[in-house]
Each structure stands twice: as structure tokens, then as C-alpha cells.
Amino acid sequence: MEIEFTGKNAIVHADNIAFSYEVTNNPRDFELYRGTKDSLEWDHQRYFVGEYIIHPYGDANNLPTIIKDVVLNNHLAPGSLNKQANMLWGKGPKLYKETFKDGELVYEWQEDKEIQAWLDSWDYEDYCLRCVVDFNYLKGVFTKFYLRRGNRDGSNKGIAKLEHVLPDTARLASHITDKDIKDPSHIIITDWAFKNVDSILKSKAYYKFDPLKPFAHKNAVFYSNMYTFCTEYYSIPEIYGALEWIKQSTAVPLIFKALSENSINLKYHIQSPQYFWDVAESKIKDACTLKGENYQDSMLLEYQKKYLQKITSVLSGAENVGKFLHTTLKLEVDGTNLLEHGWKIEKIDQNVKDFIEAQIKVSERADHVLTGSLGVHSALANVGQQGKSDSGSEQYQALNGYLATSVDIPEMIALKAINYAIKVNFPNKKLKLGFYHLGTKKMEDTTPKERNPQL
């Protein structure tokens, strides 16, 4: 038996049977469910590493990894995020000065050899690009500051360079002696997936960079991010709410793969309640406590695999006539509704054409939900109406709208650390780094040659 998991869902196929399997939390709104683990309440959780209180990023302290796995396995999400990065990047980071002319704020783009020499000394463009990518995925950026060697004796005070820090390795932390842990004083860098024993031993704590005291520490780490409503420490990206839709979209190719490989046809579609797995997880944790063992997520996954094997043996083969699968039903009162949390095993009509069309509709709906969550117009994300391409004027209006409303805040956050460094190193320059964008032209204002250089 082979099981191909996509999140909590799976395609199961053996020699003579195949079925799709999904987990639902709300049986009346199946496609919009969210598991109970995605609580958004990790602000109140605490981990301890040595003398530090770790503020977890996600319920299992792995939200960056979850987003990476879900997004990169999808056919549309990486391209949409890259398109967003390209639009923000424009012609790249350039120096400018803000001035007012006739009551309007104007960017005066300038060259400065002294600042440019410092930027070129540590490949600032690669750093800025990484910050843009991290912002688009997580709405936050981690940066390490390196001071010059002359800071100790005051002969050459300044910031030598900046270094991008992978967001899956950095966590905000407070020292156990801190009076206010809501204002983390440190950032700890290590492999938070704990892939090896040295992850804890090799963890390194850095003071959080303070723009008001830039020379306080030889190396410090800075976290610039967009504030998320009612969230203390980390940003929660907009794409978080679309993760389950992205999984649904990603699962469609797996279903088609199961249909095509070895002429396998799905015979059943099984829906299981999240309540069932919550109870199973609780029992496994209780058993681990009695045995003195540490609970691992893989234990629940292994239990799930064994349960699916049981279902496979029941549903496959004529020799199983008379066998049955017993499950319990839980009733829950939700306002004026009565919800039933129970298993459903539905036989799939072998009308493959209708089944495929239904899956494609799910995928198309998921694509539009994704672009909506990212704030990218469908005309820019290449998700137009089926069989039609978006017109040039629609793309032009969408791009103008993005440049007018969706650049300033991302630019401020992605480049906040480097602009702090420029202010520290060159306090009298009054220059900042920003992304330069060329003005767009209307279609009627362009010549045929400009539209098609090959003419």
C-alpha cells in the first residue's frame, strides 16, 4: 500500500483499490476547515533554552517551514510571490532624498560614491533581494549587524556590513532576568527543526539591535516586520489564511496522478473528523506520559497510516464481504446548528470526466483565493478567466494600482535595517535606500515598435 500525504490529506492506493482521504474540522464547511492546532495563540506559549525564554513562531514553532513546504509544493503560489517580489524590486535599490516641491513629496534619486562604496563592499543587492523574498512570504525580515573593528577604541566607529538571517533559524527570546518579556531582548539562531543533537548546543544568542544604541554590541540581530492585529511578536502573513486552499490546489495533481498511474481509479472518498484525530492524539500523549517518553508528531502520523491500512483492507477485495468499519458519531451544538462529527465514506461515480472537471473547479477556486490573499491582482498573477487572457489595459491598471498603494510599506520594512545602517554610518547624508520604479505607459501612448521590438 502506498500513501501520498499532502498536509493532513492523502491519496491511498493498493493493488486493487484507491481512495482519497481528507480531514475535516467543520463538516458543514469542509473545504474551509482549519485544524485545531492552527490556533494563532502561540503568543502565550513559552519554550526554555538555557537562560532564555523562547517565543515560538507558530503553534509548533515552525510556521516558516510550514509556509515554505505548502507554498513551494504548489504550482501557482511561488510564481505569484516571485511576481510580487519583481514588482517591488523594480530597477533595484537606489539612493534617494525626500523633498517637498509645491506641496508634494518628491523622491530625488541621487548617486553618492561614499555610500555606494560601502554598499558594494558587502554585496548589498543580494541582501536586499533576500529581504524582499522573506517579506513577501512572512512579512518579516531578520538581519545581523556587524560592527567595524575600530568600534572598541572609537577610531573607526560604524557598521561594517549586514547579513541576511534565514527566518526558520531565528526566534525572538527574552532572558530569564528580563522584567518585560513582551519586549524581547535577544534573538536566538539555531536549527529549530532539531535535526541533530547539536542544534541546542550550537544555538547562539544575540542581543536585539537597538537603533538608539547601534554600537552597544559587536554583533546584533534586528527583526523588522509588519504588525499583525493583536499579535505580540511575529507577523502572520496574509497567505496563512489560504494555506488549506493551497493544499487543496496542490492535491489535485496528486489525484490526477493516481488516476493515470497503473490505470488506478479512485473508488471512494473518505472524510474524517478532526475531532477523531484530536482524541487519538490525546490518547497517544497520555500513553507517552505513562511510559515516560516524549511525544512526537510522527507518532500520530504512524497511527494515521495504520488506520488507513485498516480502511484499505476493509474496502478492497470481494473476500471482505461482510466486514465493516465501526466509527463513533459526536454531536456538537453550534449556535442554532447541530454539527455531526463522524466519518463519511462515499463511493465515487466512475464517471471520470465529471470527477476531473470537479477537481479542476476546486483548483481554479483555490487559485483565485491564493491571489486574493496575496493582494496580487489576477491580471498580474496570470489567473484570468478560463480560456481568456487579461487585456493589456487591465494589466496596466493593475500594475499602476500596485505601484501606487502596495510599495511604500513593504519597502520600509524590507529595507529598514539597511537604512538604519546608512543613518549610523553617514549621519549627515540624509539619504535612504529605496526601490526605483520606471513609470508605466498607456497602450495608446506606446508605438508598435515599443510593444514589439522585433518589428
**Confidence band for 235, pLDDT divided at 50, 70 and 90:** very high
Question: Cβ(174)–Cβ(185) under 8 Å?
Answer: yes
For residue 19, give every residue at least 6 positions away whose Cβ sits within 8 Å of its Cβ, in sequence order, or none: 11, 12, 13, 266, 267, 268, 269, 270, 311, 312, 315, 348
Residue 36: the pLDDT is: 43
Task: Give the range of the structural domain holding residue 137, as residue numbers without chain letter.
Answer: 42-88+109-237+403-425
Percent of the chain with pLDDT over 70: 71
Q: Report CA 237 to chain centroid distance, whole Å.
A: 7
- Per mean pLDDT, which of 113-117, 176-180, 309-313, 394-398 is the most reliable? 113-117
- Per mean pLDDT, which of 183-197, 323-337, 355-369 is the most reliable? 183-197
Number of Cβ within a 10 Å radius of residue 280: 15
**Confidence band for 144, pLDDT divided at 50, 70 and 90:** very high
Q: Is residue 381 part of a domain?
A: no
In the chain, the number of structural domains is 1
Q: Is residue 121 part of a domain?
A: yes
Report whether pLDDT(32) > 60.
no
Cβ-based burial of 358 (10 A; exposed 0-12, middle 13-18, buried ≥19): exposed
Q: Which of 36-50, 243-257, 387-401 has the lowest mean pLDDT?
A: 387-401
The overall average pLDDT reported for the chain is 79
- For residues 231-250, average pLDDT: 86
Q: Is residue 74 part of a domain?
A: yes
Residue 80: the pLDDT is: 84
- For residues 65-87, average pLDDT: 88
Residue 357: the pLDDT is: 81
Cβ-based burial of 163 (10 A; exposed 0-12, middle 13-18, buried ≥19): middle
Report whether pLDDT(262) > 70.
no
Report whether pLDDT(446) > 90.
no
Q: Is residue 195 part of a domain?
A: yes
Report whether pLDDT(409) > 60.
yes
Look up residue 344 and give its three cell numbers: 463519511
Whole-angstrom distance, CA of residue 135 vs CA of residue 119: 21
Q: Is residue 350 part of a domain?
A: no
Report whether pLDDT(325) > 60.
no
- For residues 185-190, average pLDDT: 95
**Confidence band for 28, pLDDT divided at 50, 70 and 90:** very low
371 sits in which H/E element = helix 352-374
- For residues 295-305, average pLDDT: 87
Strand partners, 187: 172, 206
Long-range contacts from 316-319, C-beta under 8 angstroms, 24+ separation: 316/14, 316/15, 316/16, 316/17, 317/16, 317/17
- For residues 325-346, average pLDDT: 60
- For residues 134-160, average pLDDT: 87
Q: Which of 224-228, 327-331, 433-437 has the lowest mean pLDDT?
A: 327-331
Report whether pLDDT(367) > 50.
yes
Residue 57: the pLDDT is: 93
Question: Cβ(365)–Cβ(385) under 8 Å?
Answer: no
Strand partners, 9: 6
Q: Which of 184-193, 257-266, 293-302 has the lowest mean pLDDT?
A: 257-266
Report whether pLDDT(452) > 90.
no
Q: Is residue 322 part of a domain?
A: no
Residue 439: the pLDDT is: 64
Question: Which value, in Å, is the radius of gyration of the alpha carbons in the chain?
Answer: 27
pLDDT in tens, 1-22: 677 666 666 777 666 666 666 6
Q: Which of 148-157, 198-207, 239-248, 312-321 has the lowest mean pLDDT?
A: 312-321
Q: Is residue 265 part of a domain?
A: no
Residue 334: the pLDDT is: 56
Residue 405: the pLDDT is: 66
For 108, phi then psi, to 5°, come to -100, 105
Q: pTM for this one? A: 0.68
Report whether pLDDT(100) > 70.
yes
Question: Cβ(29)–Cβ(327) under 8 Å?
Answer: no
Report whether pLDDT(387) > 50.
no
Long-range contacts from 195-199, C-beta under 8 angstroms, 24+ separation: none
Look up residue 443 and give its three cell numbers: 497602450
Long-range contacts from 256-263, C-beta under 8 angstroms, 24+ separation: 256/356, 256/359, 257/4, 257/11, 258/4, 258/11, 258/13, 258/18, 258/20, 259/352, 259/356
Report whether pLDDT(380) > 70.
no
